[in-house]
A and B are shown apart, each in its own frame.
Chain A
Amino acid sequence: MTDVAVVGFAQAPCVRRSDSTTSGVEMLVPIFAEVLASTGLAKGDIGFWCSGSSDYLAGRAFSFVQAVDAIGAFPPIMESHVEMDGAWALYEAWVKIRTGDADVALAYGFGKSSAGDLRRVLALQLDPYLLAPLWPDSVSIAALQARLGIDAGLWSEKEMAEVAARSRAAAVSNPRAQVSGEISAEELGTRPYIAEPLRAHDCAPVGDGAAVVILASAERAPGLCARPAWITGFEHRIDSGSLGARDLTTAPSAVAAGRAAGAGAVDVAELHAPFTHQEILLREALGLAGSVRVNPSGGALCGNPMFAAGLARIGEAARQIMTGRAGRALGHATGGPALQQNLVCVLEAR
């Protein structure tokens, strides 16, 4: 099977409220143009397209079909979709190239959270018998997880604030970030709780956005990118949907995906941690050394467009390699409540 590399990445600005429709077309058109131009590809060169999005978030049926308008799908294209973060669409695209069905593939994700009430929409991803009828919101579930870790001595509110402060400072150099700025962890720690023990800085901002990544086979990649980011491991796993039955202070699926993908020795990691304590949890679960640079883009805490933010983490990790800032990088994506599903993609320069 052929090796596969990331050869292009583009991301729409993460904004509190986009003028786009919920089918994402207006956010996707400019970034398709940007990523195709960066690789010198035309749309007809893409052998397989795959998207990640959610009709619940979009508030309309078959929003992903309407999104195909942004491609200009004539003559007809080979296309697929996952009702998950675009990182899982990228996984499908990777499989398509590995199995020889395409030599260049494009994955994209989009989400317009501002159209609805994200905390309620996400209740519908829970167990439909025992959890969803109570409408527990996504922030409260993360808060339950955060407190368990605090009580177990695995992290503290101070360490959580430090994650937020470091992320916001890193995002100053990311023009696509929704939140950025220099602020001390001490000052953040004085702010009120929004869902004890979580404060606003502990939670990713709600906002709209989209991301796109292009993959190419070993034969095609060198002609499309001066320094392709070669994928050496790509794995995803899932934990039980029963919140009370698993140990929420770790994520066995992240541990397993990281081990299988070879998460160990990397220079930089882009972790999809929508809550500060989840970054600390993931560093431990993936076995990242203290020297690993985490989220130089600012991460999901500075821009978390649903169904695109995980894909953007892999794109940002690849960008570290494509721009020569890292030799080996890790991109991570999550889905579901309290890090239920985890995906790890390890990339390297050659």
Chain B
Amino acid sequence: MTYVTQPLRAPLDIGFDYTRSLGPTLSQFMTALAGRRILGSRGADGTVHAPPFEYDPVTFAPPAELVEVGPEGIVTSWTWMAQPLEGQPLPHPFAWALIRLDGAGTAMLHAVDAGSAAAMRTGLRVRPRWAASTTGSIRDIACFVPCAPGEPGQHAPQEHAPQPVTMMTSPVLLHYEHTASPGESSYLRGLAAGRLLGQRCPACGKVYFPSRGVCPADGVPATDEVELPHTGTVTTFCVVNVPFPGQRVTPPYVAGAILLDGADITFQHLILGCPASEVRMGMRVRAVWKPRAEWGTTAENIDHFRPSGEPDAPYDSYARHL
């Protein structure tokens, strides 16, 4: 299978928030962070874990009590982040480090603002630099910084007892570049030229519009291109009465499944040009295109479908495509 053209590509940013409940142990830990204190949990074997475990790794019991640790500690391992990535604690080069806080037997991962890799070493003593405002998050510790030699231990000013923190929100933002399949690319390029291009499966002969790339029934690429007319039949539809953000048409309006003449699968589009109450199964429709100047490689080039005025298609003509 060879393709003479490259597939289409486009960026996609995906952003969302995770909102999580903290549970009893992490709630205490985060509440303490909001007050600029760090807590650990003492295990059955006497080891203090910081950050705290929620269940003892030996006995699986919840921690009996949380104890204050640090705030200073020592670096047990580190690496240098020369080009920080989006979302990381510092925008300029920094060290990632495992830090064992005073009084703890385990280490926590965080950033160290050391200035240069040359300033980093295993065993380095560090202390937290607190965020300007704290909310009950691991990011209340903005980062750690090296303790100056002979510098007395610093305790952050004790704030008023903060409100218990029971929830946290983590924003996620990821960036992708999506690639359309060869069939999808051909379909989208066809739309940009005002043409409706489907593909026929060489095994079963079914015509896919929009492209499925590979015939989902046979698992083989649907490679034979088929140009389809701009007319089709409404196989089923729904009347949208509910307003929602971003809605482009004022309700009520109709979203329909349209079977283009010569295609074997339906696709969804708007059906306008008549009262919603007149739309029916079997109704014949025709594509209404936006002005050519607005076209791109998108199905949005078709503004909507409108009734074509032809007699309704008999049920048997689309019964197998519902």
Residues of A whose CB lies within 8 Å of any CB of B are 18-22, 25-26, 29, 32, 43, 56, 59-60, 68-74, 114-117, 119-121, 123-124, 128-137, 140-141, 143-145, 147-148, 151, 193-198, 240, 242-245, 248
B170, CB-defined interface residue at 8 Å: yes
B213, CB-defined interface residue at 8 Å: yes
B178-A29 in contact (CB<8A): no
Q: List 20 A-B contacts (CB under 8 A).
A: A22-B179, A69-B212, A72-B220, A73-B217, A116-B177, A117-B175, A123-B87, A129-B168, A130-B51, A130-B108, A130-B138, A132-B170, A134-B139, A135-B86, A141-B109, A144-B77, A194-B82, A240-B57, A244-B106, A245-B106
Which one of A43, A73, A119, A123 contacts B216 once the chains associate, using CB atoms below 8 Å?
A73
Name the distance in Å between A141's Cβ and chain B's nearest Cβ.
8
Given A26-B214, A134-B111, 15 other A-B residues pairs in contact with their CB atoms under 8 A? A19-B182, A26-B181, A26-B182, A26-B213, A72-B217, A120-B174, A124-B172, A135-B88, A143-B96, A144-B109, A148-B76, A242-B53, A242-B106, A244-B99, A244-B107
- With a cutoff of 8 Å between Cβ atoms, the chain A residues found around residue B175 in the complex are 116-117
Which residue of A has the minimal Cβ distance to B20? A128
- With a cutoff of 8 Å between Cβ atoms, the chain B residues found around residue A32 in the complex are 219
Which one of A26, A29, A130, A195 contacts B79 once the chains associate, using CB atoms below 8 Å?
A195
B109-A134 in contact (CB<8A): yes
B268, CB-defined interface residue at 8 Å: no
For the side of the interface on B, what is the size category?
35 or more
Q: What per-residue 1/0 map shows which CB atoms of B49-86 lie under 8 Å from chain A?
A: 10101000100000000000000000011111110011
B98, CB-defined interface residue at 8 Å: yes
- With a cutoff of 8 Å between Cβ atoms, the chain B residues found around residue A72 in the complex are 214-220
Residues of B whose CB lies within 8 Å of any CB of A are 6-7, 12, 14, 18, 20, 22, 26, 49, 51, 53, 57, 76-82, 85-89, 96-100, 106-111, 117, 122, 137-139, 168, 170, 172, 174-182, 184, 212-221
Top 6 A-B pairs ranked by shortest CB distance? A72-B219, A244-B107, A143-B79, A59-B176, A135-B87, A74-B217
- Max chain A Cβ within 10 angstroms of own Cβ: one of B26, B79, B106, B221: B79
- Max chain B Cβ within 10 angstroms of own Cβ: one of A32, A68, A116, A244: A244
Which one of A29, A121, A130, A136 contacts B221 once the chains associate, using CB atoms below 8 Å?
A29
- With a cutoff of 8 Å between Cβ atoms, the chain A residues found around residue B49 in the complex are 242, 245
CA distance A124 to B221 in the complex (A): 34
B96-A59 in contact (CB<8A): no
- With a cutoff of 8 Å between Cβ atoms, the chain A residues found around residue B214 in the complex are 25-26, 29, 69-70, 72
B78-A116 in contact (CB<8A): no
Given A59-B14, A134-B138 in contact, is the A117-B85 Cβ separation under 8 Å? yes
- Max chain A Cβ within 10 angstroms of own Cβ: one of B100, B179, B180, B182: B179
A120-B86 in contact (CB<8A): yes
Which residue of B has the minimal Cβ distance to A142? B79
CA distance A71 to B219 in the complex (A): 5
CA distance A145 to B216 in the complex (A): 44
Given A59-B178, A120-B86 in contact, is the A68-B79 Cβ separation under 8 Å? no
- With a cutoff of 8 Å between Cβ atoms, the chain B residues found around residue A20 in the complex are 179, 181
A74-B89 in contact (CB<8A): no
A245-B179 in contact (CB<8A): no
Given A29-B214, A144-B78, A148-B77 in contact, is the A245-B139 Cβ separation under 8 Å? no
CA distance A240 to B139 in the complex (A): 22
CA distance A242 to B53 in the complex (A): 8
Which residue of A has the minimal Cβ distance to B201? A72
Which residue of A has the minimal Cβ distance to B168? A129
Name the distance in Å between B203's Cβ and chain A's nearest Cβ.
8
Which residue of A has the minimal Cβ distance to B174? A116
CA distance A116 to B14 in the complex (A): 11
- Max chain A Cβ within 10 angstroms of own Cβ: one of B88, B99, B100, B117: B88
